[in-house]
Structures are given as structure tokens and as C-alpha cells.
Structure 1
Amino acid sequence: MESFIQLRKGNTPRQVHRDLDGLKEDEMGRSGFTGRTTFFYRRNDPSKYRVEGDLRPLDVLTGTLEPTDLHDPAGEPLPLLSNDDCRILLSRRGQAAPCYERNVDGDELYFVHKGTGHFETEFGRLAYRPGDYVYLPKATTYRQVPDGESHLLIVEAREEFRVPEAGAIGRYFPYDPALITVPEPEVFEEPRQDEYEIRLRHLGGRTSLFTPHHPLDAEGWRGDNVAFTFNIDDYDVITSESVHLPPTVHLFMQATGVYVMNFLPRPAEMVPGVERIPWYHRNVDYDEVAFYHGGNVFGVDMPEGLLSVVPQGIHHGIPERARERSRRRFDVDQRVEWKVIAIDTRRRLTPSPALLDAALGEGA
């Protein structure tokens, strides 16, 4: 039950995320960062622990993983994490596939970490570049044609991806839907073959359709269930000088049980005493996945291509040394230059064997 009354006991700062005076701020919140919340003010770093058992944070450099589509044109993306609402996969395709694809289980949202190329789709041709999201509605027939090796993170949602409801700042922020790129109709004729394969992507089996005509032969289309791209350079970051804002402010797309957010370059908080780095927390109702696209935080480079996974209920946060650096350099650093794609899921995610094998030791 939500309440207008916020209790306060013991030694706490006057305001959250400000003037901690050596204490460690630790949030235990419900419904992501939008429900009932308690902040504990601790003497010690709550993310310092040793893990035994299945629920543990994972850090994986995705550039070391090799999906079968890296070397084999007929190969497929590598599953990383899954639950009943979604799957998260990695593609490093280097060549166009010899067949076409159609996901019959759900929508697909690609994030382009590296590489350029285009997707041939029933809607037309969609070019992509680093920083692009590529959205393909459920059951769209398509083929990816990379210019060279592409490094893509894929979020497959069982239910429709949709734009978050407009809040108090209006429907054009944090991003303007008019800035998406929608393809123009195009009849594809190459390659010319006697028969074309459409591989259906689904769980629990393998199915292919074979047609005597090119599957991408639409001369036109009308409607609002369409494929598109959107680049993070066109995303408007919401900021505050006086408080570090919660991740949900930066929501981009959502499906049932799945939320995709952008943490992008922005001015740093400037009011003296304000914490500039996310507080420790144990997101009670959501697993958290972060994919590091690049950039830096107060002069420290982000580990590009790192995938970080934290199960719900497990303490985590940026290391204390980084917090101390942000305070020490308060009058030096004016901006936060990170580029991080975040995915929160309501149901607990199950790591694939490949992800577990590649984990960088014990996370915390």
C-alpha cells in the first residue's frame, strides 16, 4: 500500500541521495523504483559479500562469446538469459544468412553495439549503425545483411513492445516518436532462387517454410504495426541538478514484464552534497541487466560490451572507490558520459550455460 507518510528513524540525511556523511545509502524498494521504498543508511558497503548458490551477479564480456552466426552464415544468435516473458540473445553475424527469418514467439528489439548493415524486411530496407535500436514486430519476415561483423544485443518479448505512456512532461520526451526511421516499400528480387526458405524462430522445435517466390515482394503497406529504427543520439535525457534520478525516468520501450532503458551522456548533478552515482539497492521485484555500450564516468572508461546481470533481491551498486572519486572530483567533472542499455525483468531470468561458462568470476 502506498502512502503519503514517509517514516524516518535514527541517523539519516535530511534528503535522500544527499549529504551522506560517510554512510552507505541502500534502497529496498518495490515495483522497480516506483513503489514503496525504504532507504537504509549503513556503515559498510552492502555489496561486499561472497556468494554460494544459484542467485549471484554475473559479469560477461560479450565480445568473447561466439554465437554460431559469427562464423556460419546459417548460424543463429546465442541465447544468454530467459524467462517466461522474454529472451535476451547475442548476435555477431558476419555474413548475410542464406535464408529468411520470422519470429513467431514474439517481438524483437535489436540494439546495435558495433557494425553497420541493413535488414531486408517485408516493410522495406532498414539500415542500421551503432547506437540504433531495430524493432521488428512479431512474425515479420526479414534477413539481416551486415557490411561486416555486427555486434547486436537482442531482446525478444513474448508480448508486444510498446511506448511508455506519456507522463507529466508530455508525449515527445524523453524521445520524439517522429524521429524513428520507417522503411519505404521495396520489392526484393535478389538472390534469385528456385525456392526460398523462411526459418521460423520459436522455442521447442525447428520449422521452415519454403516458397517458390521471393518472400519480400510487398509493393506497399499501410497500418501502424511496423518495423523501425531509432538511434540513442536522438534520445532526450531527463536531468536534475539537485538529485540523481531513478532509472525508470529513462524508459524507452516496454513489454509485459520487460522494460528497456537508456543511460546516456548528461550534465552531472551540481548542487553541493548531491550523490552523482546510483545508490546501492536490491531491486526487490526485478532482475537487472546492464549492457555497456561505451563512454566513461568521471574519466574512467566503461568496459565496452560488458553484460552485467543482478538477480532481484541481491545487493549491488557501483564500487565505493568510484563513489569516493565522484565526490573528490565534484568541482572538476561537469558531465557523466556513460552509454548503458538497461533491461529490467519482472520474472527471474535464467542464465544460459554459455553465459555461466563465460562469467568473470564471482560478481558482487
Structure 2
Amino acid sequence: MESFTHLRKGVTPRRMHADLNGLKDDELGRGGFTGRTASLYRRHDPTAFRAVGPLRPLDVLAGELKPSDATDPHGGPMLLFSNDDCRIYLSRRSHEMPYFARHVDGDLLCFVHQGSGLLETEFGPLPYREGDWVYIPKGCTWRQIPGPGDQTTLLMIEATDEFRVPPPGQLGRHFPFDPSLAVIPEPQPVDDDDRAEYDVRLIHDGGPTTLYYQHNPLDVEGWQGDNFAFTFNIADYNVIMSDSVHLPATVHLFMQATGVYVMNFLPRPAEGVPGTERTPWYHRNVDFDEIAFFHGGSLYGIPMPPGLISHAPQGVHHGAPEKARERARRKFDEFTNVDWKVIAIDTRKRLIPSAEVLANDLGQH
């Protein structure tokens, strides 16, 4: 029964996620850390297993994947994972798109891992840079122009429901980001050039479909309303933290759609109360699949692998290995900050890895 008073049985530490005295802290929780939970204190590392079958953790490096847009201007992004609520893609575009794109099945939220350039949209031009989130509404026509000699690596999330900013709750206007720092485009119609037709590629399930126009589709002179494209850089995101307990992933929520939750794990002061576990506890988030995209940084002096994409299916234990936790405890007085940059995606429904992801899983080599 869920209540303010939680039960204790057997050997438990006095404080949650602290003073473990050799035990392994394992959380069995519902609702992505917001529902009922049980903290299990084990003798052994619960991630020390060998998996056989489809429900197993996967790790791939973005740099080893070959989306067709990396070499072919007419190519597109590579599908990584999918379910009924979303599709997750990787793009590594090096050349200007010779076509226009329009995602028909849902909103598009893209994270710029590497590169800079320009997105031409119906709302106006949107410059982008490393660390930007780029939001493109469902049905919006756009085109990408990477910077000269630059390759842009995008992690792309297409949700079948619209992405919304989550309610701030008790934080009110101290919510982790100030929406006035979003970059919103000014309308700037694009003139026709000498081409005979302009092709707009409709991205949809069972597609694509191509529409051909005799004029440039980015011909908007002005717009008004509350549905528009924008960018927001992670450097402008305010991290919520506690000095005495490692907070769950849900406090770092950035945007959400039905069944899809996007979070930013960014540099911040480390927990300072002695005995507090600074590393996320072991867990098997039973209601969500979890994707972690490593943008960069380090964790207590250990570099994070840039471009690593990690998938933890719901119900399967995951977390940093015990030796990393022991190191964080030994180095407690040496490091006062967490320097990681990780983008996380949690999905309510199970994600299906693509054939390309399975073929490039680091655990298979």
C-alpha cells in the first residue's frame, strides 16, 4: 500500500541511497521513479549477468553507424528504435538537403550532438549549434543545410503525440529552464531558384510520399500562434539538485509526449553530504525502456564515451558497474562536480531495436 510511511524489513541503511556499508542499492520502482518503490539491499551486483534473448541491454556507437544521409545528399536518417508512440533516428548529414522534409506522423525533437548549420522552416530560418534541442511541429516543412565542411550528428525523436513542456509543479517559475531563452524564428520567405520543381518528402509509416511544387514551399511572409519551431541549448538548462540524496532522472525532464519522456543529465555540483551515493542506484525501471545518449563530459575523472547510445529494456537491471561506484566513494573528497552530458529518453512501451542497431551492438563483438 502506498503511504507516507514506508515499511522496513531486514538490514537497511538509515538514509535512502546512502551509507550502504557494502550492500548493493537496487530500486524496484513503478512509474519511472514517481510511483511506488522498493529499495532492495543486495549482497551482489545485480547487473552481473549474461543475457540470452531479445530483452538485453544494447550499446552502439553513433560514429560506427552509417545513415544514408552521411554520404548521399538524397539520403535520410537511420531508424534506431521504435514503438507505437515514437521512432528514434540517427542522422549524420554532411551535405545540404536537395529536398524538403515534412514529418506527417508526429512532432520531431532533435538533439544536435555535433556540428552546426541552418534549418530552413516555414516559420523562418533556425541556426543550430552543438547542444541545441530543435523542435519541429508535426506537418511543418523544413530543410537542413549543414555548415561548410561540417557534418551534423542529430539524435531525432518522432513522437506520434505532440511534445509539450511538462508542468512545473511546485517549482513554478524556477522550473529547470526559462522558455524566453528559446530561439524562435522570424519569417523569411525563400525565393524561387531555377529548378523546375520543389520536392517535399512526406515522412510517414508506409512511406515516403513525395509532393512536387512549382514554387519554393518556404514562402511564408508571417505567422502567429503558439505552435512553432524553435531551438533551445542545453547550456541554458538549469539543473535541479540535492546535497544529501541523488535525485531520480525524472527531475531532469525537458519535454514529454504520450509515452515518451526526454531528459537532460548535465554538469552540476556533486552531492556533498558524506556517505551519500553519488552514482545512480541499480534499477530495472519496470514501466519504461531507457535510452541514454552520451554527449560528452566525464564522471569523477572517467571520460564519458561521446556518441555512445545505450538501451536498457524495462525489467532488466542496469546501472554503473560496482567498481565505478567504489571509485566514486573513494574519490568523494577529490571531486566536487559531476561533469556528464547525457541525453535520456524513457518510453512507456517497449522499444524494438532496428537491424542496424543489433548488428552493431558492442556486446556482440
Interval containing the TM-score (normalised by the shorter chain) = over 0.9
How far 1:5 sits from its partner (Å)?
2.7
- Residue 108 of structure 2 aligns with which residue? 108
How far 1:173 sits from its partner (Å)?
1.6
- Residue 118 of structure 1 aligns with which residue? 118
Q: Which residues of 2 match residues 307-318 of structure 1 at below 5 A?
A: 307-318=309-320
- Residue 277 of structure 1 aligns with which residue? 279
For 2:208 and 2:273, how far apart are their aligned partners in 1? 57
Two-structure CA RMSD over aligned residues (Å): 1.0
Output the amino acid matched with 1:23: L
How far 1:191 sits from its partner (Å)?
4.0
Output the amino acid matched with 1:115: G
For 1:353 and 1:207, how far apart are their aligned partners in 2? 23
Percentage of identical aligned residues: 63
3-state SS in 2 of match to 1:199: strand
- Residue 57 of structure 1 aligns with which residue? 57
- Residue 330 of structure 2 aligns with which residue? 328
Output the amino acid matched with 2:141: T
Q: Name the TM-score, length of structure 2 as normaliser.
A: 0.98
Residue of 292, 295, 319 corresponding to 2:294: 292
Output the amino acid matched with 1:326: A
C-alpha contact (below 8 Å) 1:51/1:362 kept by paired residues: no
Q: Does 1:161 align with 2:163?
A: yes
How far 1:97 sits from its partner (Å)?
1.3
* Structure 1 stretches lacking a partner, 5+ long: none
Runs of 4+ displaced beyond 4 Å: none
C-alpha contact (below 8 Å) 1:57/1:362 kept by paired residues: no
- Residue 35 of structure 1 aligns with which residue? 35
For 1:191 and 1:257, how far apart are their aligned partners in 2? 42
3-state SS in 2 of match to 1:325: helix
C-alpha contact (below 8 Å) 2:192/2:215 kept by paired residues: no
- Residue 217 of structure 1 aligns with which residue? 219
Q: Which residues of 2 match residues 167-186 of structure 1 at below 5 A?
A: 167-186=169-188
3-state SS in 2 of match to 1:170: helix
Q: Which residues of 2 match residues 23-102 of structure 1 at below 5 A?
A: 23-102=23-102
3-state SS in 2 of match to 1:26: strand
For 1:190 and 1:350, how far apart are their aligned partners in 2? 42
3-state SS in 2 of match to 1:355: helix
3-state SS in 1 of match to 2:250: helix
3-state SS in 2 of match to 1:361: helix
How far 1:4 sits from its partner (Å)?
2.0
Output the amino acid matched with 1:325: R
For 1:341 and 1:190, how far apart are their aligned partners in 2? 38
C-alpha contact (below 8 Å) 1:58/1:362 kept by paired residues: no
The one-character-per-residue Cα deviations of 1:170-225 (angstroms, maximum 9, x if unpaired) are: 13420111110000100112543221100000011221111111100001000010
Q: Name the TM-score, length of structure 1 as normaliser.
A: 0.98
For 1:172 and 1:95, how far apart are their aligned partners in 2? 40
3-state SS in 2 of match to 1:261: strand
Output the amino acid matched with 2:146: P
For 2:169 and 2:18, how far apart are their aligned partners in 1? 26
Output the amino acid matched with 1:120: E
For 1:120 and 1:225, how far apart are their aligned partners in 2? 16
Q: Does 1:132 align with 2:132?
A: yes
C-alpha contact (below 8 Å) 1:282/1:312 kept by paired residues: yes
The one-character-per-residue Cα deviations of 1:73-127 (angstroms, maximum 9, x if unpaired) are: 0000000000000000000000111110100000000100000001000000000
The one-character-per-residue Cα deviations of 1:208-266 (angstroms, maximum 9, x if unpaired) are: 11111110000100001000000000000001110100000000000000000000000
* Structure 2 stretches lacking a partner, 5+ long: none
For 2:334 and 2:208, how far apart are their aligned partners in 1? 56
3-state SS in 2 of match to 1:326: helix
Output the amino acid matched with 2:70: L
After superposing the two structures, state which structure 1 stretch, 83-92 or 164-173, moved more: 164-173
How many residues are paired up?
363
For 2:363 and 2:281, how far apart are their aligned partners in 1? 23
How far 1:362 sits from its partner (Å)?
5.4
Output the amino acid matched with 1:100: F
